[in-house]
A and B are shown apart, each in its own frame.
Chain A
Amino acid sequence: MAFALLGKLLDIEWMLRHDEERPSAELARHDRELLGGALPPSPERALELWLEARRREHAGRTLGVRASELLTALHVALVGLSALAGAGAAQAWLRGPGAREPTNVLSFLLSTLLWPLGLLAISLALLLMRGRLGRSVLLEDLYLVGVGLLGRLWRRSPGGEDVARQWRALRRGTRRYRDLEVATLLGAAQWYPIAFHSGAALALTAGALFTDLAFAWSTTNDSLEPQSLAAAFRVVAAPWCETLGVGCVSPELVQATRFSRFTGSYAAPNGAVLSGAWWPALLGCLLLYGVLPRLVLSLGLGVLVRRRSAQLAERVLELRGRLYGVTVGVSRSDPTPVAVAPAVGSAGVGLAPRRALPCWVIGWRGAALDEVELGRVCERLGLSLERRDAAGDGDFDRDEALLATDASPAAVLLLADGWEAPDKATRRFIEALRRGDRPVFVGLLLETEDAPALGIWRGLLGLLADPRVSIEVILPSRRAHAAEVRS
């Protein structure tokens, strides 16, 4: 699932980059074609539909899809290998050539639990010291190498794209995904130790159920007293021993199962009989101290991924806004088809029949268009002029009164001059215009399409973080400035 999200975001970024070169009218037309005149119930659904349609255009072989598939394949393979490694390691201690003697529980725990736990501790320490997930470059690079290798194996034609190279290039140019990407990979990486511990636990359980296992403990260090070991195991086993009453490690068990390789015997005569009692405790250790922390970390990173993906939604938000602007022109909430001729002009070519939205046009701070040009703009946006007012002329009370008379037409088109900075008063007025789900188009009157003012407006209206508010660039040939006329 996490890789699917990563693939989705990669695709959105990849496609938006491709779209940067294309004229906005062509984009609007294309977006409408992609949505096919359907009515998306929500902006999120519109985004899903758009993405699916764009992916279909590429026969489903987009960068995001391929990266997601390759990562999933890599992930599944690594999880499988980890489980096998865990089971193999446990099996080697329990039943391997070295297991003529009883299995030393300390060695067993060291190789199946403590080493992976040590790695976890080192990872966490590094994470805390570095402070940011984005610094974990090694992990990312390992994945990229893996993806690159798999990608090359999967490439059918010699001209096929190198996913790893493309992904790397995109990642370099787009730092905003870096944390998310690393958190996703780190979250996924937790499943390898989980699989390792689970494999070991499974091998232990199977061995205990279907074969006769013998456990012991031994040490070269004489200072390690059985009492100390028993006390340590009492603490370790307390969670399941105290709650479930199973898998307890008693001092008698520890005392009796001390094994000497020189004599080849247990410390107590009944040691061999008692030694089987170790396995529930070992299983508990693997599950509680091996599987559980990794599971918690993986889930925590999953939450982090979700939060980060919400935070970096500005690019997604931009797309949602773009799609919303398109969808309101395609259809209304009323599903009844309306027999209206398709809109003319570049934006309307080949569209499904649609009904124009009743629109309230407000000239902000004297910005105005003549009737002909306003008609063209409304047509392009799929709007029909229902009401026209002026606001922002310096009389706050009059603006408030105007807002109070809002009879909620289906859409609002606020005409504003590009050279006017979108100050707080402007942003507050736009906020007040937002009612329910209706779209608010800010018709920005500019001299050229690439005017710096457009970036400023986009940036400051982005503060509203509302996909229903979109900017429409208007390049008027004949501007009618009310104030100029008055003067």
Chain B
Amino acid sequence: MSTALSTLPVFAVVGRVNRGKSSIIATLAEEDSIAISPLPGTTRRATHYDVALDGEPLFRLIDTPGFEDAARALAWMQRHSPSADQRRATVAAFRQRFAGSDEFIEECELLGPVLEGAAILYVVDGSTPFRENIMAEVEILRWTGQPRMALVNRSREGEHLSTWHAALAPAFSTVRNFDAHAASFRERLSLLSLFRELVEAWRAPLGRAIERLDVEQARRLRESASAIAALLVDAVSHTIELSASPEGLSADEQSAAELRFHDDLRELEQRARRRVEALYRHHRVAARATPLDRPAFSRDLFSERVWSSLGLSAGQLIAAYAVAGATAGGAVDAVVGGASIFAGTVIGAALGGATALWQLGARAVDISAVEGLAERLRKSAGPLRRFRVGPHQHPNFPFVLLDRALLHHEAIRYRAHALNAAAELTLDDGTSRTRELPAATRQRLGKLLASCRRSPGAEHETERTELAAIVEELLRQRDAALAG
């Protein structure tokens, strides 16, 4: 038996129509542009998807049309095969005979890459019972003599897995469960490791591919942390300026200004999300669910439910402010050498707590005149004055934003690309991540964000770097917790 293998690892994903071949490709190649449809026969032609990093192809996946008439094709091959050692040649002859004709269009198309040297990934649907007719396809693939592995898709909902494994094991070197709609990055790497065992010549390139994908995943996490940190800094220091009559803004103008300000913050959040999604190569995340059915992080940034379930609790916020006040008061106590009998600490804590309480109920969007007194005097004759809207004053705002960013990142990082055309982002347990942070981290975050809020126009490079480090650590911890 002679087989042909190319130097670049190439895998043809084959199987019966509507068994999820395209979904498996989408998830493995992180390619959400692949047409995945509940209608059978969506894939008409064999299509190559190169998994590449920095322009270097790591391996190639080929999406193929499904078997449409395998039993008849096998019958033809059996009639035209002179002996067992001629089976591969018979499959080639079959393809040569029918390619370009109206018969066996799908079979010719899917056998093409296999005969050209691709290893076979045979996909079956674990949620459906095993049926004998499938063996015609298995037999044809066996005749090609190519290395082959069977993947049992939709394995999490499959009640027939043992039957499938028992039936496929004799014809495939490995039979593996792989749920294209739920596979994590680790599961994907683990599958790639199995591919490595499939063909000796591909061991080294696939090993390198696994290493590079691992590095790439770590880079994505780092860059996501930077994106989230940038979002936090930009959002808490965001302001807009507008001109109005010297008497100030009317109620309607104030409402319109607040609306615009909120829209800007929503836009900043969306931009950061698109950046994270692009890092993980999710370009078509569906958003079809009605607003009420969406997870908390997909709802409107300023909705009641989001603010009640995400961010810090009122107690945590008051405590954070009280500690900050106590620290400042403690400094005064230290300056007077303790003569104040810690009155500074107590008063500072009380003032801090009171400030937090007041800010929780105060208007979050502050509108103030931009000009100083001298400028106002100079321009007193002018018809208009300039006002600044923002930054957002609510103490919980950055924590709500951070929570949403963390939840969104989690949903994207663990989302299979096959889902993009079909399902809403749903990976959300609805719990706030920031409420579980250690008090010290919360305070550090609070300080950094307060610093950004105080000087809206500045670049905040130091804060950005430090925030990125904190967020990266948070993401890593969550990653480890989920992997565990």
Whether the pair B17, A394 counts as a contact (CB closer than 8 A) is no
Whether the pair A428, B131 counts as a contact (CB closer than 8 A) is no
- Chain A residues, CB < 8 A from B67: 423
Whether the pair B133, A392 counts as a contact (CB closer than 8 A) is yes
Whether the pair A425, B70 counts as a contact (CB closer than 8 A) is yes
Q: With A423-B66, A456-B40 known to touch, is A483 a contact of B18 (CB < 8 Å)?
A: no
Instruction: For the complex formed, measure the closest distance between the CB of A403 and the CB atoms of chain B, giving whole angstroms.
Output: 13
Tell me the complex Cα distance, A5–B185, Å. 61
- Chain B residues, CB < 8 A from A366: 129, 131-133
Tell me the complex Cα distance, A484–B136, Å. 18
Whether the pair B17, A483 counts as a contact (CB closer than 8 A) is no
Q: Which one, B38, B39, B40, B167, contacts A423 given CB within 8 A?
A: B40
Instruction: For the complex formed, measure the closest distance between the CB of B423 and the CB atoms of chain A, giving whole angstroms.
Output: 15
How many chain-A residues does the 8 Å CB contact rule pick out? Answer: 27
Tell me the complex Cα distance, A397–B75, Å. 7
Whether the pair A483, B129 counts as a contact (CB closer than 8 A) is yes
Q: With A365-B133, A483-B130, A483-B132 known to touch, is A456 a contact of B72 (CB < 8 Å)?
A: no
Tell me the complex Cα distance, A365–B16, Å. 13
B69 at the interface (CB under 8 A from A): yes
- Chain B residues, CB < 8 A from A365: 131-133
Task: Count chain B CB atoms within 10 A of each CB in A366, A392, A396, A420 and give the residue with the most.
Answer: A396
Question: What is the interface residue range for chain B against chain A?
Answer: 20 to 34
Tell me the complex Cα distance, A390–B38, Å. 27
Whether the pair B69, A428 counts as a contact (CB closer than 8 A) is yes
Q: Digitize B60-82: 1 where CB-to-A-CB distance is under 8 Å, 0 elsewhere.
A: 00000011111110110000000
Whether the pair B134, A394 counts as a contact (CB closer than 8 A) is yes
Whether the pair A394, B69 counts as a contact (CB closer than 8 A) is no
Q: Digitize A17-29: 1 where CB-to-B-CB distance is under 8 Å, 0 elsewhere.
A: 0000000000000
Instruction: For the complex formed, measure the closest distance between the CB of A81 and the CB atoms of chain B, giving whole angstroms.
Output: 53
Q: Digitize B12-41: 1 where CB-to-A-CB distance is under 8 Å, 0 elsewhere.
A: 000011100000000000000000001111
Task: Count chain B CB atoms within 10 A of each CB in A395, A422, A459 and give the residue with the most.
Answer: A395
A337 at the interface (CB under 8 A from B): no
Residue of B nearest to A395 (CB): B71
Whether the pair A396, B72 counts as a contact (CB closer than 8 A) is yes
Tell me the complex Cα distance, A397–B160, Å. 28
A481 at the interface (CB under 8 A from B): yes
Q: With A421-B17, A425-B71 known to touch, is A460 a contact of B129 (CB < 8 Å)?
A: no
Q: With A394-B134, A396-B71, A428-B69 known to touch, is A421 a contact of B16 (CB < 8 Å)?
A: yes
Q: Which one, A425, A456, A459, A481, contacts B69 given CB within 8 A?
A: A425
B166 at the interface (CB under 8 A from A): yes
In the complex, chain A residues 416-433 whose Cβ is within 8 Å of any chain B Cβ: 417, 419-425, 428
Q: Digitize A393-416: 1 where CB-to-B-CB distance is under 8 Å, 0 elsewhere.
A: 111110100000000000000000
Q: With A421-B18, A423-B40, A456-B39 known to touch, is A484 a contact of B70 (CB < 8 Å)?
A: no
- Chain A residues, CB < 8 A from B130: 483, 487
In the complex, chain B residues 28-58 whose Cβ is within 8 Å of any chain A Cβ: 38-41
Tell me the complex Cα distance, A306–B206, Å. 62
A452 at the interface (CB under 8 A from B): yes
Q: Digitize A353-371: 1 where CB-to-B-CB distance is under 8 Å, 0 elsewhere.
A: 0000000000001100000
- Chain A residues, CB < 8 A from B128: 417, 419-420
Q: Which one, A397, A452, A486, contacts B38 given CB within 8 A?
A: A452
Instruction: For the complex formed, measure the closest distance between the CB of B38 and the CB atoms of chain A, giving whole angstroms.
Output: 6
Whether the pair B163, A399 counts as a contact (CB closer than 8 A) is no
Instruction: For the complex formed, measure the closest distance between the CB of B122 and the CB atoms of chain A, giving whole angstroms.
Output: 15
Whether the pair B134, A423 counts as a contact (CB closer than 8 A) is no
Q: With A399-B71, A423-B68, A487-B166 known to touch, is A394 a contact of B132 (CB < 8 Å)?
A: yes
Instruction: For the complex formed, measure the closest distance between the CB of A446 and the CB atoms of chain B, giving whole angstroms.
Output: 13
B135 at the interface (CB under 8 A from A): yes
B residues whose Cβ falls under 8 Å from a Cβ of A? 16-18, 38-41, 66-72, 74-75, 106, 125, 128-136, 160, 163, 166-167
For this complex, 5 residue pairs linking A to B, each with C-beta atoms less than 8 Å apart, are: A396-B71, A421-B40, A423-B67, A425-B70, A487-B163
Nearest first, the 3 closest Cβ-Cβ pairs linking A and B are A421-B40, A396-B75, A394-B133
Apart from A366-B132, A394-B133, A484-B129, list 15 A-B contacts with CB within 8 A. A365-B132, A366-B129, A394-B134, A394-B136, A396-B72, A396-B136, A419-B125, A421-B41, A422-B40, A424-B106, A425-B69, A483-B130, A486-B132, A487-B166, A487-B167
